[in-house]
Structure 1
């Protein structure tokens, strides 16, 4: 009876969350007056149906849960990347941010975890590091998923099992470090650009995205730790609890998105009053060419950095050898 009620609750929440979110997305697509902004907005709102549907499938098909949980994990990275891109597009791009923030710094602060660093200048390097901090997670997550699949089919991976000889422990550690670095980069960027983002009412959006992505991950980790400690009978039962909770949380998130990312702001800008073609708008949302270009640009920056660093090291070695 308990299992039936859990599945019923998760089903109702999933249907409700998907219904609200998809209707919200449809209204954005029909009032697609700001394609640059709304591309990222729709991608963020899509997290609700992705999270809720994948969690429900993991609940009723536990043997295939690794597939559904991997999709959620990859979409987490996708959401963080798109939110940073949305913020950058609001303020006119990296160049405009650098121009507006020239001469300013982020002072050492314990709550920003920068207390051990000197003041951080808000220059082009800072913006680039924020983007790279997010992109490393976007790139690393699929690699971790692939590693989990390989270990799983070789009986070396069990979700929720922190056995030192299994792969879950090590993948979780790497994932947590990469994930935390991405969120830290996002927080630092928001703090630096807070005044620039004020006209776009970015605070509720930032809180919502961070809460959904950050809290659901740590919630699952804590539940699995309870399972490891014996409070919950098994990793599978812990996984079921997590999937049911995510279903309920996504229903709440779906309504929160209506407030944080309202389509009416764009509908009011639709002077002609005619709806745009929803399919064309959806194609623009799903076109990933912007991500490819952004990733290639960041990789190019890394390559230039390492070439420069290598040249400096070689020069230093030549000077030292001449002295010897």
Structure 2
């Protein structure tokens, strides 16, 4: 194997961009690792902190990936595979974080869910029927998140295969290449996941208020939104010739516009990760979990709990099982059993109307996290 292609090309990257980006990335990584260590040290609420730590790992992974890609652009497609898969994992982790808070820190969670009415869709989907009430709404949100963590690794793997066979052509919107098709699939899948996450927040924002979810949600959405759509925007600017005329340094005339787009994208992500790391210190702080009366956990014990993937395997398996059950509806022999299941699962407990009106009106007594 010719290792020369993995060596930095001084002619292409003669500017100081990679070194400035490296400074941003190293500071961001240090801040994030410090916060991660503190969460593992004060690992007093595993059902929440497990997912917080997984979210915090987003900054080191994004920053290191983008910084190395500036020096080794030929390998960026392979490093991006890890980053893009982890992006879907972050959205799933945030969903589990919200669900676990409701289940463990909100009194009478089961009654709360059953009291929730149907949810009208937001614009531009307001012409669709309202989303179902109660537990069915929770299931809708859950499966919307899981479809993204399933589809994103698949499309990322396909992009890797297309790149190997030379039919991917990142930034090329021609229908003859795979980039445009995978872009559409990823965009639709991500939009579904983010839309249902917003709908969940709107429906439960009063109950979630003690854990101040808005800042947490925006810090995650901003990273995912900018890292994805700014790459699309840069590709469009290349297509229009704006980046070629304005951004290619005169000292590197041989650099391609696609390489320049990647260079800009990676530089911007390194800077954004520094901003995200600072924001995470405040929105995902370890301080609310400090309990001086409890002995600190060994870090390796906390780490073993965080890397446990049992919940992910269970959720994905249930997701495919539900898909299989839906597909059985097409067979006449299963119609009767399906109707029976629907009737049983849709039976709601008899909760007094006054309880339905007043339940969850106060969030006093919860610790703000």
Q: Specify the alignment match of 1:294 in structure 2.
A: 315
Q: 1:241 aligns with which of 260, 264, 270?
A: 264
The answer to whether residue 129 in structure 2 is matched with residue 107 in structure 1 is: no
- Most deviating of 294-303 and 183-192: 294-303
Structure 1 residues without counterparts, runs of 5 or longer: 316-324
Shift of 1:215: 2.3
The answer to whether residue 290 in structure 2 is matched with residue 256 in structure 1 is: no
- Most deviating of 87-96 and 58-67: 87-96
The answer to whether residue 214 in structure 2 is matched with residue 203 in structure 1 is: yes
Structure 2 residues without counterparts, runs of 5 or longer: 1-10, 245-256, 337-369
Q: Specify the alignment match of 1:284 in structure 2.
A: 305
- The SS at the match of 2:328 is helix
Work out whether residues 144 and 171 of structure 1, in 8 Å CA contact, stay in contact via their aligned partners in 2: yes
Q: Give the whole-Å Cα distance in 2 for the aligned partners of 1:308 and 1:95.
A: 37
Instruction: List per-residue Cα deviations over 1:185-212 (Å, max 9, x = no partner).
Output: 1111111111111111111111111111
Name the structure with the higher helix share. Answer: 1
Q: Specify the alignment match of 1:320 in structure 2.
A: none
Q: TM-score, normalised by structure 2?
A: 0.80
Q: Specify the alignment match of 2:199 in structure 1.
A: 188
Work out whether residues 160 and 239 of structure 1, in 8 Å CA contact, stay in contact via their aligned partners in 2: no
- The SS at the match of 1:39 is helix
Q: 1:271 aligns with which of 276, 293, 301?
A: 293
Q: TM-score, normalised by structure 1?
A: 0.90
Q: Give the whole-Å Cα distance in 2 for the aligned partners of 1:108 and 1:153.
A: 42
Instruction: List per-residue Cα deviations over 1:157-186 (Å, max 9, x = no partner).
Output: 122222221111111111111111111111
Distance 1:283 1:103, change over 3 A: closer
Work out whether residues 174 and 180 of structure 2, in 8 Å CA contact, stay in contact via their aligned partners in 1: yes
Distance 1:236 1:96, change over 3 A: farther
Q: 1:166 aligns with which of 154, 160, 177?
A: 177
Shift of 1:103: 4.5
Work out whether residues 159 and 178 of structure 2, in 8 Å CA contact, stay in contact via their aligned partners in 1: yes
Q: Answer with 1 or 2: which has the greater Rg.
A: 2
Shift of 1:226: 0.7
The answer to whether residue 73 in structure 2 is matched with residue 51 in structure 1 is: no
Work out whether residues 169 and 178 of structure 2, in 8 Å CA contact, stay in contact via their aligned partners in 1: yes
Work out whether residues 31 and 270 of structure 1, in 8 Å CA contact, stay in contact via their aligned partners in 2: no
Alignment of 1:84-233 (within 5 A): 84-92=95-103, 99-101=111-113, 102-110=115-123, 113-233=124-244
Q: Give the whole-Å Cα distance in 2 for the aligned partners of 1:97 and 1:125.
A: 15
